[in-house]
Homo-oligomer: A and B are copies of this chain.
Amino acid sequence: MGGFFGVASKTDCVKDVFFGTDYHSHLGTVRGGLASQGPNGIKRFIHDISTTPFRSKFEDDLPHLKGETGIGVISDTDDQPVIIHSHLGTYALVTVAKIGNVEELVTEAFKTKTTHFAELGGGNINPTELVAALINREASFVDGIRYAQSRIEGSCSLMLMTEKGIFAARDRLGRTPIALGSKDGSFAAASETCSFPNLGYTVDRQLGPGEIARLHADGVETLQPPGDKMQICSFLWVYYGYPASSYEGINVEAARNRCGAALARKDDVEIDMVCGIPDSGIGHAIGYASERGVPYRRPFVKYTPTWPRSFMPQDQTVRDEVARMKLIPIHELVRGSRMLFCEDSIVRGTQLQDTIRLLFRAGAKDVHMRPACPPLIRACKFLNFSRSKSELDLAGRKAIAELEPDNAPQVQDYAETGSPKYCAMVERIRRRLGLTTLKYQELGNMVEAIGLPKDKLCTYCWDSAE
């Protein structure tokens, strides 16, 4: 998905930008980038972070970055920040975006015969450079950002650093978040609020949907007020967000605890312990355990010292090993147990299947699964949501395809909890995974656990609602 962090300060802010960006490392595994605006202009570093953590890669660059304004980014896709010279001036740009209509926008740009894209590393047009080209079409940054957001199908939040500070612009429908924070003499914007407290920043507020603000050393001013409509991604609470972060003022860990409690209230299966698949399943599991008064246990631990994140080794044979290396079973806790696992969601279920087999082999008596959200039946078209590349690979869609092999099934029919089609789909998934029981969260309960009105949340992947 990606995330960014920026600071406008009265003093050198490079260290804050370094650590603040690092606190977004859970949001991407491909590229990291830092840029600072100092007396000699913009200085930038971009590194591959696929096999080495952000901090290890950027530590050597710190002495070469200086400035009172700076931005950083963790990207799951392109090289960022891009640095652009245009009629608007020289600026650095970072985005958290998905552009569904790249081809259309590029074709249009090439019609003028005056636009080109200067690739920065990969073989394709850099999406962030494309956003810049759209911004440049207008006479001011604010008009340009609005124009770019209006033309992009998908979503686009961004930060744009100029000599006059940082323009922070949240996606038109607020699909991805931007928070504002401050401390004495410094103003910051970030995707994740968990980046603020340890750097001394207070969380001031969230930008609203479509809002554009400019951060400078003396404060923050709103240049474009927020819109009414919001479609923030529910998965931020269920899966993506860091437990210590909040969006729209709602904390992730607390929302997960409520999700788990909601699952528990509908459940009476007999179990010895509740467990969570790290990392995001843990918050759900703790909530479940507390609500039912059943012990929370860790029969599985993740090897965090070096497996904290998706790690993509170059060697393919090594890469194949990685999936099953992260979680270590504790046989002493598994043996003879009736276990209930909470997990954020079931995407393809491939790894889960292995895990469940391993548990039974280690002597588990029963293994129950309680996903914190309903079955996924759509792939996301709004965010770079790497977990479901192909819609038809989703565990739910596979089950539907097996149930109606010859038809073009109405997937929407399977979205209604408790309906015969829903039940048949869930049962197929349960059997394929080899679970003792499988009960999904109901959509209404998940929405309630998050705590925002349903029409402000994007729930497309569960109920096709746009």
Within A280-335, which residues are at the interface with B (CB < 8 Å)?
282-283, 286, 289-290, 293, 295-298, 301, 303-306, 308-309, 311, 313-315, 317-318, 321, 324-325, 327-333
Q: Are B52 and A123 in contact (CB under 8 A)?
A: no
Q: Are A113 and B136 in contact (CB under 8 A)?
A: yes
Q: Are A321 and B42 in contact (CB under 8 A)?
A: no
CA distance A251 to B84 in the complex (A): 44
A435 at the B interface (CB under 8 A): no
CA distance A272 to B358 in the complex (A): 36
A interface SS class:
mixed
Which of A54-62, A389-397, A439-447 is the contact stretch? Answer: A54-62
User: What per-residue 1/0 map shows which CB atoms of A90-124 lie under 8 Å from chain B?
Assistant: 10000000000000001001111111111110010
Q: Are B243 and A330 in contact (CB under 8 A)?
A: yes
Known: A198-B324, A305-B53, A311-B55. A244 touches B329 (CB 8 A): yes
Q: Are B293 and A286 in contact (CB under 8 A)?
A: no
A85 at the B interface (CB under 8 A): yes
A151 to chain B, nearest CB (A): 14
A253 at the B interface (CB under 8 A): yes
> What residue in chain B is nearest A297 (Cβ atoms)?
B286
Q: Are A113 and B84 in contact (CB under 8 A)?
A: no
Count residues on chain A whose CB falls below 8 Å from chain B CBs: 95
A18 contacts across to B, CB distance below 8 A = 318
CA distance A325 to B194 in the complex (A): 11
A111 contacts across to B, CB distance below 8 A = 87
CA distance A194 to B87 in the complex (A): 44
Q: Are A59 and B19 in contact (CB under 8 A)?
A: no
A85 contacts across to B, CB distance below 8 A = 106, 116-119, 125
CA distance A297 to B84 in the complex (A): 46
A250 to chain B, nearest CB (A): 8
User: What per-residue 1/0 map shows which CB atoms of A423-446 lie under 8 Å from chain B?
Assistant: 000000000000000000000000
Q: Are B308 and A308 in contact (CB under 8 A)?
A: yes
A293 contacts across to B, CB distance below 8 A = 293
Checking B115, B119, B318, B327 against A114 with a beta-carbon cut-off of 8 angstroms, the contacting residue is B115
Checking B86, B116, B137, B297 against A110 with a beta-carbon cut-off of 8 angstroms, the contacting residue is B86
Q: Are B129 and A114 in contact (CB under 8 A)?
A: no
Q: Are B114 and A137 in contact (CB under 8 A)?
A: yes
A282 contacts across to B, CB distance below 8 A = 298
> What residue in chain B is nearest A23 (Cβ atoms)?
B303
User: What per-residue 1/0 map shows which CB atoms of A227-252 lie under 8 Å from chain B?
Assistant: 00000000000000011101000010
Known: A85-B117, A116-B84, A304-B308. A298 touches B313 (CB 8 A): no
A418 at the B interface (CB under 8 A): no
Q: Are B301 and A290 in contact (CB under 8 A)?
A: no
A40 at the B interface (CB under 8 A): yes
Q: Are B118 and A114 in contact (CB under 8 A)?
A: no
CA distance A119 to B253 in the complex (A): 41
CA distance A18 to B242 in the complex (A): 30
4 closest cross-chain pairs (CB), A and B: A87-B110, A290-B295, A251-B332, A86-B116
Residue pairs across A and B with Cβ atoms less than 8 A apart, 6 shown, are: A43-B123, A52-B56, A53-B306, A86-B115, A242-B328, A289-B295
